[in-house]
Amino acid sequence: MTFLRVVAAALFSATITTAVHAQDIALTSHDGKIEVTGTLLGFDGEFYRIDTQFGELTVDGSGVTCDGPGCPNLTDFVAELRFSGSSVMAEKVMPALLIGFADQEGLSMKPGDSAPGTLTYELYRDGRDTPLGRFFFNIGNTSKGFTDFTADRADIVMALREIRPGEQEAAEQAGLGDLTRTRRSRVVALNALVPIVAPDNPVPHISPADLALVLSGAIDNWSALGGPDAPIALHLPDAQSGLAQGIEDHLLSTATDEPPEHAQRYDRSSDLVLAVANDPFALGIASQAEADAARALPLTGGCGHVLRATRQAIKTEDYPLTFPMFLYLPERRLPRIARQFLAYTQSTDAQMVIRSAGFVDQAPERLGIGPQGHRLANAVASGGSGVGLEELQRMINTLRPMSRLSLSFRFEAGSSRPDAQSRSNIQQLAQLLEAGTLDVRQLVFVGFSDGDGAAAANNRIALLRAKTVRNAVLAAVETAIPERVSLEVDAFGEAMPMACDDTSWGRKVNRRVEVWVR
């Protein structure tokens, strides 16, 4: 994009001679024929972003000279990137990724001057006195991140949940684009909500239905959960945090009550976990990555299924309370070092950094059918009433010589749209196929359903979902996939439930598309 093309599109060969005000700039083409003035909104080392009387323009710096008090220093330019949002991402996830990125690029990372409630890191190259890039992290919560984003106090949001309609509307009004589009967000790590208790609490597990009743105050004594006759001391994240909003989305969407007022609230998850670990009658909700000091309660559906927040269960979304960690990006060009860093966050090397930091990475894993014996046993014990022995045998014979990929696909409630983690998986699988890094000959998208309705209809729906996911992956491939790899679809309907169908979360877990390879 050249300067002349940008200006011509906006001005149609007009020459602007507006006087330059304080902190404004004037950009003049090298032949002196065109000049545009306005307030500098940003400079990424390559392009100027300027607010003019004609609106916001992006101008290629190679075609112009800059004059005025607001012009940047081109000799020692320092790219700056401002993040705002989740405290756990600001304090743990993003610094770990920055260190990994610096190591890969041969840079050194040093802490910069930080105001209270912020962290600053600078990246240096040997032989240069000024940093190449300066990264600011405003430590808060997801809601504050979106507020800072729309107020132009942040370039990127760190979020523990998807953007909400009101936030999306505000972002569009601020000229930041449609943040619900695939390329406007990146999943950098995975995590999960886990109910936690003290290590010596005798209750072995809890159902999501009972957990929702505890969180809404309808159950307030441990005796209702098989424990001692003692009141439940409830510990929850700050109400404005992404974790608390995730609790609302996952567990309280059908509850009629808010969490009770007597629930203890915490700004920091580490403080919450420590308080629960030291109180035998406490129950809290925390992120899986920070729950080590307490004991996480497995989830049970009451029909033989016990779901634990293991790394593989979080990757496959077989554990129902999973949530991705997002970066939301504006619909404008970011500095080159920022683009390079964002590309690094999706790399194989970055996945190992994420795992080392204590979070769940997105690197695909293969799960042989042997370790999944409990799933097959449940298929026999609790498969839908319309699933006969012949269909179970077909499923086992089909899957036995294959391995399951940890990339799975689930859908938003009442919708055929893949959920956030699944949309990220679609992009990731497309890139793996395109790059030829999956050493497979056959890849089968296998659809499963809940048991609500007739078995034949459920099987058709499951097959349709499998085709939908396969087509979405193919549409995300930008060039081509190796000819030796065949992409097929199959479906077994309600044959292998992950949870009971008597709850909305159980039905959501069961409605899925798995990927099996060989």
- When pLDDT is averaged across residues 178-186 and rounded to a whole number, the result is 87
Query: pLDDT tens for residues 394-430?
Result: 888 899 899 999 999 998 877 778 888 898 899 999 9
Say if strands 133-140 and 79-86 run parallel, antiparallel, or are unpaired.
Answer: parallel
Q: How confident is the model at residue 497 (pLDDT cuts 50, 70, 90)?
A: confident
| CB half-sphere exposure, 390, CA atoms < 13 A | 1
What pLDDT score does 253 carry? 61
What pLDDT score does 8 carry? 39
How far is CA 62 from each of CA 36, 118, 335, 338, rounded to the nearest angstrom?
A: 15, 34, 15, 20
Reply yes or no on whether the pLDDT at 12 is more than 50.
Answer: no
How far is CA 123 from each of CA 90, 112, 153, rounded to the nearest angstrom?
A: 17, 10, 21
pTM for this prediction: 0.82
Q: How confident is the model at residue 377 (pLDDT cuts 50, 70, 90)?
A: low
Q: Is 26 helix (H, G, I), strand (E, B) or coil?
A: strand
* Interacting residues of 516 by C-beta distance below 8 A, sequence separation 6+: 399, 402, 403, 404, 405, 443, 444, 446
Q: Cα(130)–Cα(251) distance, rounded to whole angstroms?
A: 49
Tokens of 435: 């790059």
Tokens of 254: 């059908």
Q: Cα(89)–Cα(98) distance, rounded to whole angstroms?
A: 12
Reply yes or no on whether the pLDDT at 455 is more than 60.
Answer: yes
Reply yes or no on whether the pLDDT at 488 is more than 70.
Answer: yes
DSSP E strands, 30-88 = 35-43, 47-52, 55-60, 64-67, 79-86
How far is CA 8 from each of CA 4, 28, 46, 60, 418, rounded to the nearest angstrom?
A: 6, 13, 19, 13, 41
Angle between helix 420-435 and 455-476 (nearest 10): 60
Domains, the chain, ordered by start: 3-67 (2.30.30.100), 79-190+326-342 (3.40.190.10), 194-315 (3.40.190.10), 364-517 (3.30.1330.60)
What pLDDT score does 506 carry? 78
Q: Cα(444)–Cα(462) distance, rounded to whole angstroms?
A: 13
Exposed, middle or buried: residue 244 (CB in 10 Å: 0-12, 13-18, 19+)? buried
Per the listing, tokens 């048991």 go with 451
Q: Which of 26-35, 49-58, 91-100, 300-309 has the lowest mean pLDDT?
A: 300-309
Q: Hey, what amino acid is at 2?
A: T
Note whether 501 and 389 are within 8 A (CB).
Answer: no
Note whether 100 and 344 are within 8 A (CB).
Answer: yes
> What are the DSSP calls for 367-431, one per residue?
EESGGGHHHHHHHHHHS-TT--HHHHHHHHHHHTTSEEEEEEEEB-TTSSSB-HHHHHHHHHHHH
Reply yes or no on whether the pLDDT at 474 is more than 60.
Answer: yes
What pLDDT score does 21 carry? 40
What pLDDT score does 18 carry? 36
Percentage of the chain exceeding pLDDT 70: 90
Note whether 489 and 464 are within 8 A (CB).
Answer: no
Reply yes or no on whether the pLDDT at 22 is more than 60.
Answer: no
> What are the DSSP calls for 159-197, one per residue?
ESSPPPHHHHHHHHHTT---TTSGGGEEEEEEEEEEEEE
Q: Cα(386)–Cα(493) distance, rounded to whole angstroms?
A: 10
Note whether 477 and 504 are within 8 A (CB).
Answer: no
